[in-house]
Amino acid sequence: MRRLAIVTAGGDCPGINAVIRAVAKTAMNDYGMEIIGILDGFLGLIEKRWRKLSYGDVSGIITLGGTILGTSNKANPFRFAVGKRGEEAEFADVSDEAVANFESTGASTLIAIGGDGTLHIAHKLSEKGLPVIGIPKTIDNDVDCTDFTFGFDSAVATATEAIDKIHTTAQSHHRVMMIELMGRYVGWLALFAGVAGGGDVILIPEIPFDMEVVARRVVERSRRGKRFSIVVVAEGAKSVAGDIVVQRIIKDSTDPVRLGGIAELIAREIEKRTDLETRVTVLGHLQRGGTPTGFDRVLATRYGSRAAELAAEGKQGVMVALQGQDIVTVPIADAIARLKSVPPDHDLIKSALSVGTSFGLP
């Protein structure tokens, strides 16, 4: 009986369990394979921790957030931290062990479910001869060669609902309400949720903003009689001038103190430049939690089922992807060649501008 291994790595997001279920059920139902679940991301591969998944293990988990296999953010076989916590970390390449461990599972293919970081590792393992198939997962939607990663739609839903809530409370006070969303390098989430939530200002990494324009914008709204402005900020947003930067105060070597994220910095600038009260909400980990949306469950099922089929066919080094209406396969190498950022001429940017949203541009 053939075996298929699954690993889930990087930050978690809604839909991972739906993918695991689809991979495992397809592999068992259609190809009679056994399923090995690697525990806690690549850490499990390094530490030889995995377990066989039964049909029961993957039943009834389509609604479940998180990952039944666990994940780890930092365990990279090519740069694995050794030494004790607290000490200066040293890094070692343990990828040979990882490959050997994989072989000891008896699996013919590894399904790697993850975002950009995971797919980089998967690609390098693949180059070392480990047969790998990737599934693009991330709330950031920054994986190239696919229209959507799974998890993104669920994060948009959570962020949109949060902006809706902020909206109702904003209307009661004369205030600028800021909400900071995830998105260190790309702004898809802030763009989609910002448009969906009717944000008055949306700030994303791809479009550096002019602080003065932002301040003027919220003042103008106030002058036109609008009680409030909603400002949606991706955590990686930055000013054109480069002067509004997330910093840390280093009190002493062991206790750096973060001075607040970008939203808080912008809020202070707005309060300095205008007479408007400003309040900040940082959505944080809520964006990774909860049950996946219908859209994400469907996408996850399509991705997972196809990945199992590809494994059964002996394919490797590829990632499943959504292009238009179709599930296709692309070389992992292509998918990781660059981050998929928001093109400044995307029609949604244009539409947002047309309905009156500002991106902080003059």
By CB under 8 A, is residue 162 in contact with its own copies?
yes
- The token duo for 229 is 């402005």
Per-residue exposure over 105-137, b if at least 16 CB sit within 10 Å of its own CB, e if not:
bebebbbbbbbbbbbbbbbbbbeeebbbbbbbb
**DSSP letters for 236-287:** T--BTTS-----EEESSTT-EEE---HHHHHHHHHHHHSS-EEEEEE-GGGG
Quick check: 241 and 211 in contact, CB under 8 A?
Answer: yes
Q: Looking at residues 306 to 325 of the shown chain, list those that interact with its own copies (rule: CB under 8 A).
A: 306, 308-309, 323-325
By CB under 8 A, is residue 12 in contact with its own copies?
yes
Work out how close the CB of 100 gets to its own copies at its nearest, in angstroms, rounded to a whole number: 25
Work out how close the CB of 83 gets to its own copies at its nearest, in angstroms, rounded to a whole number: 13
By CB under 8 A, is residue 198 in contact with its own copies?
yes
By CB under 8 A, is residue 301 in contact with its own copies?
yes
How many residues in the shown chain lie near its own copies by CB under 8 A?
94
String marking each residue 15-34 x if it binds its own copies according to CB under 8 A: -x----xx--xx--xx----
For its own copies, which residue of 282, 311, 332, 336 counts as binding (CB under 8 A)?
A: 282
- How far apart CA 232 and CA 98 sit, in angstroms, is 42
- How far apart CA 89 and CA 111 sit, in angstroms, is 29
For its own copies, which residue of 51, 52, 92, 169 counts as binding (CB under 8 A)?
A: 169
By CB under 8 A, is residue 64 in contact with its own copies?
yes
- The number of beta carbons lying within 10 Å of the beta carbon of residue 91 is 12
Task: Specify the residue, 29 or 104, whose C-beta has the smaller distance to its own copies.
Answer: 29
Please measure the distance between the N-terminal and C-terminal CA atoms of the chain and give it in whole angstroms.
63
Q: Is 147 a catalytic residue?
A: no
- How far apart CA 192 and CA 205 sit, in angstroms, is 14
Quick check: 113 and 101 in contact, CB under 8 A?
Answer: no
By CB under 8 A, is residue 71 in contact with its own copies?
yes
Work out how close the CB of 307 gets to its own copies at its nearest, in angstroms, rounded to a whole number: 11
Q: Looking at residues 83 to 102 of the shown chain, list those that interact with its own copies (rule: CB under 8 A).
A: 85
Using the rule CB under 8 A, give the single segment among 59-67, 108-116, 204-212, 330-338 that binds its own copies.
59-67
- How far apart CA 19 and CA 42 sit, in angstroms, is 18
By CB under 8 A, is residue 268 in contact with its own copies?
yes
Task: Specify the residue, 30 or 93, whose C-beta has the smaller distance to its own copies.
Answer: 30
User: Which entry of 12, 140, 142, 200 is annotated as an active-site residue?
Assistant: 140
- How far apart CA 3 and CA 311 sit, in angstroms, is 10
- The number of beta carbons lying within 10 Å of the beta carbon of residue 352 is 19
Work out how close the CB of 351 gets to its own copies at its nearest, in angstroms, rounded to a whole number: 4
By CB under 8 A, is residue 295 in contact with its own copies?
yes
For its own copies, which residue of 5, 14, 123, 135 counts as binding (CB under 8 A)?
A: 14
Active-site annotation, residues: 140
